[in-house]
Amino acid sequence: MKQLLSLTLVLNLMIGGANLSVAGRLDGESLHQVTREFVTPHLDWGHSLVGGPIRVLFIANRFAGARAAVELAQRLDLNFEAVVTADISNFVVDNIYEASVEGTSKYEKTEELLEKLSGKFDVIVIANVNFSILPAEAQYRILKSVSEGTGLILGFPSDLPFPKLLENPTEDWRKIFAKVDIRTLPRQPQPGQENALLKTYVFGKGRIAIMPMADVGLSTNEPYTPGKWKGRFENSLALAGRVVQWAAGRKITADFTPEIMADKIRYALDPNGPSAVRIRIRDAENREQVNQQVFAKDQAVFEFDTSEFPAGQYYIDVLQGSLDSVSEFGVFGFEKVSPVGVLRVTTDKGSYESGEKLSATVSLEKPLAEDATIAITIEDLPDRRIWARQTLTLPKGTQEVKTQITDLHVPTIAARVVAEIQNGKKRIASTEALVYFPRRKLEIYPTMLWDNIPGSLSEMWAAHLRKNVPDAAGLTHPGEGGEHAHRSALFNQRFIPYVTRIYLMAGENGETLSKGWWLGMPTDEVEALSKDGSFHNPTARDFWKKVIAHRTAGLPEVGPMVYSLGDENNFSYEAGYSPSDGPAFTQFLKDNYPNIASLNKAWGSSYQNFEEIGHPSLKEMREKSLYPLWYAHRRFMERQYADVNHFLADEIRKHDPLALVGSEGSEPGNIEWTVKGLDFWGPYADPVNDEVLRSVAPEKLRTIWWGYGGHLAYPLWQGLLRGVINGNSWYTSMIEPISGLTSVDFSLQETYRTERKPHVDALNHGLAQLLVTTPLRSDGIAILWSHASYSASIMDSRFLNPRDSAIPLMISLYQLGLNFTALTSLQVEKGALANYRILWLPGATALSETESLAIEEFVKKGGIVVADVLSGILNESCGPLPKSRLGTLFGTPDLKGQAPLEIKEVSVDQTINGKKIVFNAKKARQSPEGSIFSINKSGKGLAILLNFSLGMAWNNAEGNPEQFLLSLLELANIRPAIQVEGIEKNDLIIRVRDNGENQVLGLLAAFSEIGKVATIRLLREAWVYEANKGLIGFGKSFESKLDVPFKIFSLFPTKQNPPLLSVSKKSLNLGEAVTLDGTGLSPRGLYRLEVYGPDGVLLPDFTKIFLGQPTGEDGVIRFALNDASGAYRLVLTDIRTGLSTTLPITTNPAQHAEHP
């Protein structure tokens, strides 16, 4: 993906945007500044320390170390500065991406570090940075500073290549651990192993702490789990805090430990010790059970009864000090053992479709000693909204309970099944199991991000992404057993697994090499593919199967949004010469030609049989001008590429029958073949292929990566307006220069926040969906995309590249606001021309007989066909024809197309059907055969041969080439529906959509036009609304100031009213659902339903955008059992008009809600 725009120049030009510094580079704050702006849930350990704040310099890596510094500073009274390195083993990284950002060069970063080192600190923390990568002068100054009394803490990697510093170990680590129970820490090291976590030394006047397992800042990472991670992470930072205090020279004692008994916590206060102690008891998820400050002057002993605590893990935090400050703190743990022993809940499956029945079994290790009840709840993740609750009576002696929950609708991907046994109000024991509810329905306009929630500080990442790019899926490798997908699911982030990679490259002798993601695959099997990686090699196919099985393991249960077959997939036309390719090539020919005679006829050859053809090298084919054979080889490789795509997609579907599969950033090959059988295609932008994809895959998910190029939201605006995309793919959610969403402190990167987000949000709030769901108005214009002709142009320079004419034609049509469809040869053969009035044939050198007949028929029935040069002089096999297949149609029956194209002046001045057609260009590529412009009537239609390519002609036109184009379109009675005045036409895109009820007019102006006023003239009067905003007025023209260059208007014949909204009930209990009554809504309307809570704040998770009358879950608003009760407000907005209706509803507490 990184190659998306590997244009160093463009990057250097792009550097800047809103954050351009005077020096012309991108503001580097997001990569350097560690702020406390983004606050995450945390406990207070010592926000006011006795002795004042500790001055700390963190030297931390970019990816987690920097944020970990903030996490510690949130909890402890630190006055900190930070220097952020590129990564754990690179002080800086020297590449063009980094170079575009201020402060990233070695010089700048060194200067920053040395400047900060000149400050006075109590402690220097090297957090996940290899000490050796620091500049020598910095190393020297740090060590010298330590010898003079500054503390030094090294997390992982803790190698300090200066043995003398470690010559004097101390036993102070014991004092630090005296108040931190090692069993409360991540990865649960065993008691007695404290010294593996922490070693202490003195050097000169300074103290040195080495923390080899502190791999996320000064905390120890462990995989995220909803029930356990939170508490242990907190404890880990308590240890870190104590180490920092010690290293800073603060007093660290071993003077207290709470006494933990079966049903009681006892803590003796020292009358000569700290005047106050805060005791905080919390569960494994930091839910406070007790938080009480006691004073030594008031009592000698603090006791707390824990007998009512349900079974589970608890932590006791002890904060010593005075009324308002803390001198020391510590953390201890205890586990409440259940009287029923180990309690387990299991479910019949790990994954459920919406509405599906869930069966749960709860097992008690020991029989119940007395009558009790059990509550089984389904809580979503990560918010723990409760979607079902069942309470069952358990008679004494019960050891197993089975139950079922039906009609279950959980809105998140992951949820917990929680079972809690109670005796009256006393909670005896609880347990939980994780289950998944795949989200199968793809929204109208989904968003995907490169990368998902990482494995360290996952909760913090998730909170940042949820806040700033809500509901975006994350794309990355699946991890072993789908680990990455499961992690995403815990935070309700949909996942897009990067399952494999299709990379059919050519070996030295043209053999097909398969290079893919073979992670975890046996080396010998991978090696075997280096000899013959062709898809036609059964061993290779078997290997692919294993790859798919391995890489999809664990994925189906979380229901990926789509499966990606790879990023930047590609193949080489030079490949195809593996041992298994030879027979396959012969078979490919047999499959395409019924017999050798038909092949000979198509190719103009005289082979005796298919085997005689062999499979010569590309070089030989070119040298011998074996064009049909050369083209057959190209098609053979395109077919192989498509087949691999389809085969792998089918393999994935074997593991996940509901899977949507595609790939992104990939070469299309023959796009029509490749996307067939796939559900998703996300290429790099290409003016022609994008339109062909829209034509051949209208219902499939189509996205184009952006992030590195363009400003504001131009890449999205362009794609959406043209209709070529229906989703958003952003590179990347990670911390990266230029395009990374995330700053080192996990705040939103500034350029994205100011330049992109407002526009991306506006699209997400309905504008994108409006463009996706409203069909482009048919203007009756078709442009043939002949894949065979394109191949022919590569084969021989006599044949015009269809792109030379197609691209300028398409650009002109964008500017004129006229819609078109790029039709493939296959579509033309199947009769697609019936829906059009004019057909352009750009560089249509190679046409099949069926295709030619369809074109002739189209003209006979009244259609107009416009060709540039040499149409139909080759057949669909790129075999030469004695003369053009369309020669008679164009009135040039002897057109052969053998002469090379010439560059000459163009002068057209003719009258057709009373309409004058004039065009002059200083030069254009043209055929020496025939006249420069000819018209032939055929049946009811016209065939116009320009005999010159549009590319050069457009560039060298005298006057406006669009006038020439318009005059030709006039012949088919095609005229633009609107005129836009007052702004520069260059790069302007105008698209008109029509759903039969209203039109949607979209325009995108060049960046330079921002702030100008555009006047839009219509063919007839209309009520004009700015989409999602409101009424502009009624008339035949209107003005719009381009505060943003992208504008969407809706045009109606009648004035519109706010949408009609009613609901099944206006008062309900929590845990129930309200059904929307959409009978008053237009089937063609696009609506956004928003819900505001009792506190008046928008609840984004409730928002729905739907087309027409809502169906399924779109028509239901579900309230969880533990949602806030009170007065809610439903606001339904017609996105087309911006008009909205508000409806109040009231929710009542769920008194006795039980799930069936």
Partner 1 sequence: MGLATPIFAQINVVKETRADDANQKNIEFLFPEGKVSYQGKIDESGVIDKDSLLYGLTFQRPLQTNGGWSLWDFLKITVRAEDEALEVIDKCLLTNADILEDQQRVLVSFDWHLEKQGGGDLQVLLAWYPEQPDWVFVKVICKGAATLEQVNLAAFPGNTTGPEERERWFATEKQPPSQFSDETHEIDSEESGMVFFNRFAQENDGCLLVLGNFPRESIKINGSYAVTTSVRFAEGQTEATFALGGFKQSDPKEVIRVFQMEGARNMLNYLNSIDWSPKVDRKKHQSLINNIEELIKGTSNPSDVENFQKLKVAYALNEKNGNSSGLLDNVRELIGLKNSLIEAELMKFR
Residues lying near partner 1 in the complex (CB under 8 A) are found at 7-10, 12-17, 20, 22-25, 96, 99-100, 105-107, 110-111, 114-115, 118, 135-137, 139-141, 143-144, 161-165, 709, 711, 903, 925, 951-952, 955-956, 984, 986-987, 1006-1008
Closest CB to partner 1 among 483 and 755?
A: 755
Least Cβ distance, residue 6 to partner 1 (angstroms): 8
Least Cβ distance, residue 215 to partner 1 (angstroms): 25
Least Cβ distance, residue 1009 to partner 1 (angstroms): 11
Compute the distance between CA of residue 1070 and CA of residue 1123 in angstroms, rounded to an integer.
7
With beta carbons less than 8 A apart as the criterion, state whether 327 and 77 touch.
Answer: no
Closest CB to partner 1 among 166 and 261?
A: 166
The dihedrals phi and psi of 144, each to the nearest 5 degrees, come to -65, -40
Closest Cα partner for 215 from 129, 93, 151? 129
With beta carbons less than 8 A apart as the criterion, state whether 599 and 610 touch.
Answer: yes
Least Cβ distance, residue 9 to partner 1 (angstroms): 4
Residue 355, Cα to own-chain centre: how many angstroms?
28
Least Cβ distance, residue 1155 to partner 1 (angstroms): 56
- Count CB atoms within 10 A of the CB of residue 530: 12
Closest CB to partner 1 among 359 and 986?
A: 986
Name the DSSP class of 609.
S
- Name the β-bridge partners of 738: none
Closest CB to partner 1 among 167 and 1021?
A: 167
Residue 157: asked if its preceding bond is cis (omega within 30°), the reply is yes
Closest CB to partner 1 among 162 and 304?
A: 162
Closest CB to partner 1 among 9 and 323?
A: 9
- Name the β-bridge partners of 702: 681
The dihedrals phi and psi of 194, each to the nearest 5 degrees, come to -55, -40
Closest CB to partner 1 among 100 and 791?
A: 100
Least Cβ distance, residue 23 to partner 1 (angstroms): 6
Closest CB to partner 1 among 24 and 1011?
A: 24
CA dihedral 485→487→490→493, nearest 10 degrees, is: -50
Residue located via tokens 């945007």: 17
Least Cβ distance, residue 1 to partner 1 (angstroms): 18
Least Cβ distance, residue 659 to partner 1 (angstroms): 35
Closest CB to partner 1 among 209 and 1068?
A: 209
Compute the distance between CA of residue 323 and CA of residue 277 in angstroms, rounded to an integer.
8
Closest CB to partner 1 among 25 and 635?
A: 25
Alpha-helix runs per DSSP H in 63-147: 65-75, 96-99, 106-117, 136-147
Copy the structure tokens of residue 1102.
């409730």
Least Cβ distance, residue 731 to partner 1 (angstroms): 16
Angle subtended at Cα 569 by Cα 567 and Cα 572, rounded to the nearest 5 degrees: 160
Least Cβ distance, residue 1066 to partner 1 (angstroms): 51
- Count CB atoms within 10 A of the CB of residue 222: 19
Closest CB to partner 1 among 339 and 709?
A: 709
Least Cβ distance, residue 675 to partner 1 (angstroms): 24
CA dihedral 75→80→84→88, nearest 10 degrees, is: -60
Closest CB to partner 1 among 957 and 1120?
A: 957
Helix (H) or strand (E) holding 12: helix 8-14
Closest CB to partner 1 among 9 and 1097?
A: 9
Q: What is the 3-state secondary structure (H, E, C) of 921-963?
A: EEEEEECCCCCCCEEEEECCEEEEECCECHHHHHHCECCCHHH
The dihedrals phi and psi of 1114, each to the nearest 5 degrees, come to -60, -30
Closest Cα partner for 851 from 878, 880, 884, 828? 828
Compute the distance between CA of residue 278 and CA of residue 45 in angstroms, rounded to an integer.
10
Closest Cα partner for 229 from 239, 217, 219? 219
Least Cβ distance, residue 104 to partner 1 (angstroms): 8
Helix (H) or strand (E) holding 952: helix 950-955
Least Cβ distance, residue 118 to partner 1 (angstroms): 7
Closest CB to partner 1 among 665 and 880?
A: 665
Least Cβ distance, residue 211 to partner 1 (angstroms): 20
Strands 447-450 and 728-730, sheet pairing = parallel
Copy the structure tokens of residue 634.
């190209």
With beta carbons less than 8 A apart as the criterion, state whether 877 and 851 touch.
Answer: no
Least Cβ distance, residue 842 to partner 1 (angstroms): 16
- CA distances (Å), 344 to each of 309, 338, 425, 721, in order? 18, 12, 21, 54
Q: For residue 44, count CB atoms less than 10 angstroms from its CB and return exposed for 0-12, middle for 13-18, buried for 19 or more.
A: middle
First to last CA, the chain: 48
Q: What is the CA radius of gyration of the chain?
A: 35
Closest Cα partner for 700 from 757, 670, 660, 673? 660
Least Cβ distance, residue 999 to partner 1 (angstroms): 29
Least Cβ distance, residue 1065 to partner 1 (angstroms): 53
Residue 1015, Cα to own-chain centre: how many angstroms?
37
Copy the structure tokens of residue 422.
């109670």
Beta strands in 995-1085 (DSSP E): 999-1004, 1013-1026, 1030-1041, 1046-1052, 1062-1063, 1067-1069, 1073-1077
Compute the distance between CA of residue 1064 and CA of residue 1126 in angstroms, rounded to an integer.
17
Closest CB to partner 1 among 808 and 880?
A: 808
Closest CB to partner 1 among 1007 and 1034?
A: 1007
Least Cβ distance, residue 614 to partner 1 (angstroms): 35
Look at the alpha carbons of 655, 660, 663, 664 in this order and tell me if their dihedral is positive or negative: negative
Closest CB to partner 1 among 151 and 863?
A: 151
Closest CB to partner 1 among 393 and 907?
A: 907
